[in-house]
Amino acid sequence: MGISTNTVQTVGDLDVVLTHPAVNNGAETHLTGFKLEDTFLDAVQEMDNSKRVALVGGGSVAITNLLRIGKLTLTGLRTQGDAVKSAAVTSGDLILCAQKMQGSLQGADKITSQFTDGDSTGGTLKISYSGQGGTQTYTFLAVTLVSVPALKIAGNDVPTYPVVFGYADYEYNFKGSA
């Protein structure tokens, strides 16, 4: 009979920072509203890096690329009260930030489209978290909004909103503790 092996992993802070011209005039916005005991971030590559094409006679051709485009889903809760009274997202409300990327606040009581031809700028989304002996940072580039629910209502719980962003590439950095 062998001895079972257990591992202990420390976890720490999480910082999700959105920079986009439609949110707080392009200033860094620290997003909030993530449920602690839930999966709230999922980044998935959209295009395979290799493909096999079968040829008549049993051969094949391998086609490869270096693309890292994908979709990133952040699932969060509303944290700021009235979504349309303030032009600034002071709380970092994920859902409000996404809805501002979709349409900018105009006036005191409505949301209307800010972009006439869609988002031609994009932004960045930086995810930093500590654990495994240091801080890991992923910076997603050319970030645009794919989708955000307009409204969710739950009975005896707080509704979670899956907000989907598209990205063109990402950078990774690890800083270990000294």
Residue 49 confidence (pLDDT) above 60: yes
1 inside domain:
no
Output the pTM of the full model.
0.81
Report the pLDDT value the prediction gives residue 111, as an integer from 0 to 100: 53
3 inside domain:
no
Owning domain of residue 154: 11-176
2 inside domain:
no
Q: What is the pLDDT of residues 88-119, one digit of tens each?
A: 666 788 988 888 888 744 444 555 555 555 67
150 inside domain:
yes
Instruction: Report residue 25: phi and psi, to 5°.
Output: 55, 30
Neighbouring CB atoms inside 10 A of 10's CB total 8
The secondary structure element, H or E, covering residue 96 is helix 94-102
Nearest to 176, CA basis, from 121, 120, 134: 134
State how far the Cα of 99 lies from the Cα of 87, in Å rounded to an integer: 12
Nearest to 20, CA basis, from 134, 105, 119, 131: 119
> What count of Cα atoms within 13 Å lies in the side-chain half-sphere of residue 68?
11
Cβ atoms 101, 115 nearer than 8 A: no
60 inside domain:
yes
Total domains in the chain come to 1
CATH of the domain at 67: 2.30.110
Residue 65 confidence (pLDDT) above 90: yes
Return the beta strands (E) in the chain as ranges.
Answer: 11-19, 29-30, 41-45, 50-54, 60-64, 70-76, 104-105, 111-112, 123-131, 134-147, 161-167, 169-176
5 inside domain:
no
The pair of three-digit structure tokens given for residue 11, joined into one six-digit string: 């976890």
